[in-house]
Amino acid sequence: MAESPLTTSTILCTCARDIPPVLRAELEALGYVVKAEYASGVEIEGTLDDCLRLNLWLRTAHRVLFRLGSWKATTSDEMYEAVNTVPWDQWIPAKGYVCIISSVDTPSIDNVMFANMRCKDAVVDRIRTVRGIRPDSGPDTSRSVVFLYWHADTLMVYADTSGAPLSDRGYRVNPAKAPMRESLAAAVVLSTKWAPHLPFINPMCGSGTLGIEAALIGRKIPPGSMRENFGFMHLLPIDPRVWQTMRREAIEQADTKSKLEIHCSDNDDRVIRQARDNAKRAGVALSFSICDFKEVLPPDFAVQADTDHTPVVIMNPEFGIRIGDERTLRTTYREIGDLYKQKFRGYTGYVFTGNFALAKEIGLRSKRRLPFWSADLECRLLEFELYEGSRIQYPERS
């Protein structure tokens, strides 16, 4: 059956593989009840206003999809007839533009582009029947976007309220080589033992993405507040005043006064200049320095930790797979282990890597090995407790 505008429906928040547990925690922290968790997404129930809120606040999601209909279909004609029942004239401007994106895996379709074309026909034919004109269509995701899900005989169609992926925050105009995606960086930060009142040290910072995402979390700045365009802005049921008010109130409630100890460094002055520019566009102030990672020292900081949180040192070295020479990197990984053991006692150390052989060179026993994916590359976030003898006890926060 098809949903009418402005009703409650299923909202699917998509994300990278292995991130759903982090995304689920985000959604629950925002007050939502999770209906289902999948390999690359989490489902809740909500309204279009909830979609706006999720686009504003979710740090680890890629897209926020609002379900408009669900059916059984085995042929392209059955798919067309089902999608055509949705009141598209109430969703997409007749003089607008629509893009179809999809996930299709059904026996009757051997060409995904054909499925997208038939779905597009169903959408624009409905609008033309009611309005007398039809919107343009094509691959541009900067305006109205429809997501088609068709696996086996299960057919669903969604309004993509995000448009471009939410990982495209808008602050990273100058990426370093092989930069970590913003949503992945946020998931990594949220998976550590760091809390905003504790130091966060990021040698080899590159574009500064890990530090910037940590600062956005620490300042409670909504990651979607930097974006100028979303898919929902091109849907007829959306009142732009709702978004403007929601965004303004969220920005006003950000924490601009608490002290953050976020220190990023790299041995390339050009990279540091780019990272500073990215942080400035993100609206956060970080400490940047130019130095080799072996020279990094913990800041002079009165640590106030609790039993669940510690200061963090985190590095994302080259993997030697797409960039970097693996033989040279063996020394680098050994030196990372030496740095952690010698200078960061009392911290929790992390290394994010996609090369499990090199990870053994660190020479430390990992307490946790959290799986992540960087594009199509399987990675791990390795966690190391950096203490000698008995665990260092930190005073509780007052």
Point out the least confidently predicted range of 38-52, 169-183, 256-270, 359-373: 169-183
My answer on whether 153 and 284 are in the same domain is: no
Q: Rounded to two decimals, what is the model's pTM?
A: 0.92
**Per-residue pLDDT at 328:** 86
Q: Does residue 176 form part of some domain?
A: no
> In this structure, are 284 and 199 located in the same domain?
yes
Residue type, 45: E
pLDDT of residue 6: 56
Q: What is the number of structural domains in the chain?
A: 2
Residue 103 shares a structural domain with residue 194: no
pLDDT score for 395: 38
How far is the C-alpha of 57 from the C-alpha of 353, rounded, in Å?
A: 27
Residue 376: the pLDDT is: 87
Q: Is residue 244 part of a domain?
A: no
For the chain, helix (H) and strand (E) counts, in that order, are 10, 15
Pairing relation of β-strands 36-38 and 63-72?
unpaired
Residue 111 token pair: 């060409």
Rounded mean pLDDT, 3-16: 84
Question: Which pLDDT does position 300 carry in this prediction?
Answer: 80
CATH code for the domain of 199? 3.40.50.150
- For residue 279, being part of any structural domain is answered with yes
Specify whether 30 is located in the same domain as 135.
yes
**Measured between alpha carbons, how far is residue 125 from residues 78, 80, 88 in Å?**
15, 10, 9
Assign 166 to helix, strand or coil. Answer: coil
Residue 226's contacts (CB-CB under 8 Å, 6 or more residues apart) are: 169, 170, 171, 281, 282, 283
pLDDT tens readout for residues 202-250 = 999 999 999 999 999 999 999 999 999 999 999 999 999 999 999 999 9
Same structural domain, 146 and 215: no
Which residues contact residue 365 at a Cβ distance below 8 angstroms, ignoring those fewer than 6 apart? 384
- Residue 70 resides in a domain: yes
Determine the pLDDT at residue 177. Answer: 67
Q: Can you state the percent helix, strand and coil of the chain, rounding each to 5?
A: 35, 25, 45
Is 154 in the same domain as 208? Answer: no
Which of 352 and 397 is assigned the larger pLDDT? 352
- In-domain check, residue 393: no
| DSSP symbols for 63-125 | EEEEEEEEEE--SHHHHHHHHTTS-GGGTS-TTSEEEEEEEEE-TT-S-HHHHHHHHHHHHHH
Q: Same domain, yes or no, for 208 and 116?
A: no
Q: Name the 3-class secondary structure at 371.
A: strand
In a domain, residue 233? The reply is no
Residue 131 lies in domain: 9-160
Evaluate if residue 392 carries a pLDDT over 50. Answer: no
Check whether residue 111 and residue 208 sit in a common domain. no
* Residue 390 scores a pLDDT above 60: no
Q: Is residue 236 part of a domain?
A: no
Confidence of residue 86 (pLDDT cuts 50, 70, 90): very high
DSSP H helices, 110-179, are 112-131
370 and 266 in a common domain: yes
Percentage of the chain beyond pLDDT 90 is: 86
pLDDT bin (cut points 50, 70, 90) of residue 174 is low
140 and 196 co-located in one domain: no
Residues 273 and 132 in one domain: no
pLDDT at 393 > cutoff 90: no
Give per-residue pLDDT as tens, 302-314: 666 567 899 999 9
pLDDT in tens, 324-363: 577 889 999 999 999 999 999 999 999 999 999 999 999 9
Supply the CATH number for residue 87's domain.
Answer: 3.30.2130.30
H/E stretch holding 383 reads strand 377-385
Q: How far apart are CA 149 and CA 141, in angstroms?
A: 17
Check residue 1 and give its pLDDT.
44
Mean pLDDT of the chain: 92
